[in-house]
Amino acid sequence: MVIMSYTYTSSVPEYVGKKVKLRGWIYRKRTSGGILFLVIRDRTGIVQAAAKKDSIDKRSWDAAEKATIESSIELSGTVKKDERAPTGFEVSVDSFKLTGLSEPFPITEYQSTELLLDKRHLWLRSMKMISIMKARSYIFRYLREFHDKKGFYEITPPLITSVAGETGADMFKVDYFGQEAFLTESSQPYAEAMVYALEKVYSFAPSFRAEKSRTTKHLAEYWHLEMEAAHYNLKKLMDFEERMVGSVAQKLADKNQDILAQLGVDPALLKKIKPPFKRLTYEQAIDLLNQKGKSLKWGDDLGVEEEKLLTEEEDKPVFVMYWPKELKPFYSPINPKDPRTTLSVDLQAPHGHGEIIGASERVWKYDELMDRFHEVEAAKGVKFNIKNYEWYIDLRRYGSVPHAGFGLGTERLIKWLLNLDHIRDAIPFPRMVNRIAP
């Protein structure tokens, strides 16, 4: 006896006139004159199956009749073309098995956003979420491919840390065997340590932010791609960033047209995203915004409105370079050509999707690092717990080298590339100020 293997619904068109075996979930169901029309969903898509009462065995018929929306099933049958079916093909069922009967599915056609978030574990089966999660997986893959091709090693930083950022204020505290610890807000210090061993490294890891921002761009837990490289300067970082973002957009447009079509994203817009990206200094950005009606002064940060105004007419991201030292952390070095500023650069996504990458050269000399600590302490009125930074400072004691790196918020990138309304849809189980379940 030939044991048939299972076919995905997307391959069904290749089997016209032949038999297939499918497994999946009931997506739609209706009945018409002794025929059950069952639309079957699997990870590749959907296909219609038709079960006729008088041409299948009683057990199969009873199971098909009993099957509810989202029940898991297996069936076999013969493929034929049928213009009336949703995909133009139909499987005439000859045997049907119910694997897991579903209770009445709590998500029906029109549901509130809140319910869809409460039932996220079930809503992930929707066509929209399936497409986004596939795109997310490909985007992660393309980002990895880019780094791998450039000879970077992937590293795995710790997520529980004693490094309290600047103040620990926006960090989640953890009771670590009686000692105060934090969930990491950035893997950068660890990536910097590994630069002295592997020279070119990157990590994909969650970062945690306890800031109570209720915006469409903030998550309390997000996946952070962080890159760190020895002997890189700001120019080399920017070249790297624009090539990386460009390559992801190009690959998505070339290889994932089916997913983009499901999400209503025009690949032609993605094809436009390639180097070079516009490069503004912070000062030029402020001037530009003031020409557009703002009244910003030196030292002001860019908020949601400014980001939108700066990028609303852009098809490609925009670099903003040389931020005032008051706006950047201690690890951003002073710009020797303008000591009011730092060797730092942010990448702003078009149409107000916000900052997707934060980057800088790093203070790599011991004395300069200590100066920057004290400067930031004085400027912000904070007190660093230098003891927790001892190991980080050590890196500048034993054969330090110039290096630079960046952090990219993967959900921000996904939100922009797929033109999503809210960052929560770029991650399967969003963590936000008012949400930790499911």
Footprint of ligand 4AD (CB under 6 A): 186, 188, 209, 218-219, 222, 224, 226, 355-359, 405-409, 411-412
Nearer to ligand 4AD, 396 or 415 (CB): 415
**How far is 136 from 108, CA to CA, in rounded Å?**
25
Q: How far is the CB of 346 from Mg ion (least distance, A)?
A: 6
Residue 409 binds which of ligand 4AD, Mg ion, none (CB < 5-8 A, kind-dependent): ligand 4AD
Are 386 and 398 contacting, i.e. CB atoms less than 8 angstroms apart?
A: no
Residue 324 binds which of ligand 4AD, Mg ion, none (CB < 5-8 A, kind-dependent): none
Nearer to Mg ion, 82 or 355 (CB): 355
> How much of the chain is helix, strand and coil, in % rounded to 5?
35, 25, 35
b/e map of 306-337 (b: 16 or more CB within 10 Å)?
Answer: bbebbbeeeebbbbbbbbbbebbbbbbbbbee
Helix axis angle for 188-198 and 386-394, nearest 10°, is 20
Nearer to Mg ion, 76 or 335 (CB): 335
Q: Which residues bind Mg ion (CB under 5 A)?
A: 358
Q: How far is the CB of 385 from ligand 4AD (least distance, A)?
A: 18
Q: How far is the CB of 363 from ligand 4AD (least distance, A)?
A: 13
Nearer to Mg ion, 165 or 358 (CB): 358
Beta partners for 376? none
What does the angle CA 290 – CA 291 – CA 295 come to, to the nearest 5 degrees? 20
Nearer to ligand 4AD, 29 or 278 (CB): 278
Nearer to Mg ion, 333 or 358 (CB): 358
Q: How far is the CB of 349 from Mg ion (least distance, A)?
A: 13
Q: How far is the CB of 432 from ligand 4AD (least distance, A)?
A: 9
Which residues, 6 or more positions from 417, have their beta carbon under 8 angstroms from its beta carbon?
A: 135, 139, 248, 249, 252, 265, 270
Q: How far is the CB of 239 from ligand 4AD (least distance, A)?
A: 16
Closest by CA position to 430, among listed 215, 265, 249, 143: 215
Beta partners for 98? 73
